[in-house]
């Protein structure tokens, strides 16, 4: 469940990453506002990681309209001070688990081809995501849109859906 406080904290998290343009950060905050305003009808779900009552990371995801339970991962971001501590991996795994619980079959992620995003590409690939497409000059000249996807399968381990 999102709160008014999340507006400020999502801005702080996305700003701290050093990857996103101001307009992208504004969009991240707008999605929180949309969820605050419309609730589940917004189509956006959020998962938050906190540390000592402060948000340190989050994902935003939602079912892709007009698909057979396919999902977009719109945002995953972790406060810069908490990078390389496994928080992004935990957030992604829990997001995938939640999507599987509602019978989601595949998750899609889009990202930039710019050099600062190379670690992001490695992050997804190490977690089973496959590069599906690259759209040339999508965001700007020389800044391609890279699309990753991962099929989601349900398996049970000791009675827990994995």
pLDDT profile of the chain (162 residues), mean per 10: 91 94 95 94 95 92 94 96 94 95 94 94 95 96 96 62 48
Q: pTM score, two decimals? A: 0.89
Say which CATH number the domain at 108 has.
Answer: 3.40.630.30
How many structural domains are present in the chain? 1
Q: 109: phi > 0 → left, psi -120 to 50 → alpha, else beta; which?
A: beta
What is the C-alpha to C-alpha distance for residues 148 and 136, in angstroms, rounded to an integer? Answer: 15
Domain that residue 117 falls in: 4-161
Question: Kind of pairing, strands 160-161 and 143-151?
Answer: unpaired
Find, among 97, 103, 99, 93, the residue nearest to 128 by Cα.
93
């Amino acid at each position: 469940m999102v709160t008014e406080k999340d507006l400020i904290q999502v801005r702080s998290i996305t700003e701290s990453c050093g990857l996103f343009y101001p307009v992208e950060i504004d969009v991240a905050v707008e999605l929180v506002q949309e969820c605050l305003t419309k609730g589940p009808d917004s189509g956006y779900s959020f998962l938050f990681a906190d540390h000592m009552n402060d948000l340190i990371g989050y994902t935003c995801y939602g079912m892709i309209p007009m698909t057979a339970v396919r999902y977009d991962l719109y945002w995953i971001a972790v406060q810069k001070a908490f990078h390389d501590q496994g928080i992004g991996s935990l957030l992604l795994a829990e997001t995938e688990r939640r999507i599987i619980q509602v019978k989601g079959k595949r998750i899609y992620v889009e990202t930039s081809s710019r050099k600062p995003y190379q670690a992001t590409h490695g992050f997804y690939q190490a977690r089973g995501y496959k590069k599906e497409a690259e759209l040339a000059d999508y965001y700007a000249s020389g800044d391609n849109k890279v699309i990753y996807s991962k099929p989601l399968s349900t398996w049970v381990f000791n009675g827990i859906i994995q």
